[in-house]
Amino acid sequence: MKLKDRFNRKYLQISLYVIFTAIIIYILSLLAKNAWQILSVLIEKLNWLLKVIKPVILGFVFAYLMDPVVGFFEEKFHKFKLFKKMKRQRTWAAVLSVVLLFIVVASLISLLIYSVTDQLKLANFDDIIRLAEGYKKSLEAFYNSILQNMEKLDIRSSQLEQYVEETVTVILDALKNLAQNIVNTLTNISKYLTTVIFSFIIGFYFIIDGKIIKDFIKKTFYAVFSENTNNRITLILNDLDYAFSGYLRGQLTDALVMMVLISLTLSLTGVRFALVIGIFAGIGNLIPYFGPVIAYVSTAFVCLINGEIKKLVISIIILAVIQFIDGNYIGPKLLSRSIKIHPLIIIISLIFGSAVGGFLGMLLAVPVGAYVKLVFVRFVENRAAKKSQTVKPADTTNDAKPNKI
């Protein structure tokens, strides 16, 4: 009798299934026991990968935001006879766009530094010293009143000294942590500069050879994936571009416009640090509802410290007019190509974005919410269209039959 005839194929198959199931269960149990260690290792590797590819991501974002400006200058080069014979017009358009960007950024930084130093020069240091002495006397009087009240309440001075010592310890620890964070930031400046430089270089190459890279990626996807998968990927990329491009570029332009308007109006009303307030309010305008808050609070703080109530009232009224014009005319015009989102969805997106990614998460929360809305609305419309197609034939047959009375 042959060896293979001694084995029952059915029992052998069942045995193999049992063995493989036991092995899989054992592996899953090991994974469950060491899930936290495995997850921590994966997170560590993911953080390392993000640090490595951070310049590539930042470079892509830089190229993506600069693409309309480069396209504008490239189109102008094609129209003028003087530039028609120029070789690599895309490269020269990219160089011109980057130079203009550096000029704008350098001008803003220079104006910011000049505004702060100029206001500090105008400050009366005698008044500052007198104000500090007044605060010191007020604190001493407050401290003495606390001691008197403690004596009336029959609280031991040793207990008070212990509370004071604990408070001083907390304050010193906070100052120590602040100093340590400043030192760490200064030591990491070289890393930040390296990341910025490499991001700029990678982004510049993305701007110049973006079409070549895009065509190569399309060709690779066409060779690797099926036609149905390629169509889905193309649809997703088009939706992301539609959700992000109009919003981000519109918000950046709106932020620049608000910087100029707020700085000019506050300078005309004579508010100190008008340029500083305008720049930070414009940056805050990148996040919905944050720009006006920064403008109002900063203006009120500066005016109240200097006792300029009249300037405060006039500035608040002018800022309200500017915000009204921006909310009803400038913003909608610049964001006309972006997806319209309900304010409630914007607030919810900002809350989730802040919890997930801080300032950057809040900056990207609205376009992400716009993309989710776009996908969800398309899903609902497709489902409704399919249901209407399946229901209509039944309705027509019912309508065709005469009602019997």
User: Token digits for 242?
Assistant: 């539609």
User: Token digits for 347?
Assistant: 């607030």
What is the per-residue pLDDT for 26? 82
Burial code (b: 16+ CB inside 10 Å, e: under 16) for 289-305 equals ebbbebbbebbeebbee
Q: Give the pLDDT mean for 274-285.
A: 84
Whether pLDDT at 398 is above 70? no
Name the amino acid, one letter, at 189: I
Identify the band that residue 127 occupies on the pLDDT scale cut at 50, 70 and 90. low
- Candidate from 273-287, 311-325, 386-400 with smallest mean pLDDT: 386-400
What is the per-residue pLDDT for 405? 37
Residue percentage of the chain with pLDDT more than 90: 0
What is the per-residue pLDDT for 64? 83
Residue carrying structure tokens 């400006």: 69
What is the per-residue pLDDT for 284? 82
Helix ranges (H only) for 270-326 are 274-284, 290-305, 309-325
Identify the band that residue 400 occupies on the pLDDT scale cut at 50, 70 and 90. very low
What gap in Å lies between CA 233 and CA 238, rounded to an integer? Answer: 9
Q: Give the pLDDT mean for 168-191.
A: 69
Phi/psi at 35 (5° precision): -65, -40
Identify the band that residue 404 occupies on the pLDDT scale cut at 50, 70 and 90. very low
Between 387 and 134, the more confident residue is 387
Between 350 and 144, the more confident residue is 350
Name the amino acid, one letter, at 96: L
Q: Is the Cβ–Cβ distance between 74 and 93 less than 8 Å? A: yes
Whether pLDDT at 29 is above 60? yes
Look at residues 405, 393, 252 and name the one whose alpha carbon lies nearest to residue 335.
252
Residue carrying structure tokens 């000049």: 114
Residue carrying structure tokens 């890393």: 191
Between 300 and 401, the more confident residue is 300
Identify the band that residue 168 occupies on the pLDDT scale cut at 50, 70 and 90. low
Burial of 183 (0-12, 13-18, 19+ CB in 10 A): exposed
Mean pLDDT taken over the chain: 76
Q: Judge if pTM exceeds 0.85.
A: no
Identify the band that residue 96 occupies on the pLDDT scale cut at 50, 70 and 90. confident
Whether pLDDT at 231 is above 60? yes
What is the per-residue pLDDT for 234? 86
Between 373 and 114, the more confident residue is 373
What is the per-residue pLDDT for 402? 46
Q: Give the pLDDT mean for 286-298.
A: 82
Name the amino acid, one letter, at 54: K
What gap in Å lies between CA 136 and CA 134, rounded to an integer? Answer: 5
Between 206 and 80, the more confident residue is 206
Long-range contacts of 49-53 (CB under 8 A, 24+ apart): none
* Most distant pair of Cα atoms in the chain: their distance: 114
What gap in Å lies between CA 394 and CA 400, rounded to an integer? Answer: 10
What gap in Å lies between CA 259 and CA 276, rounded to an integer? Answer: 9
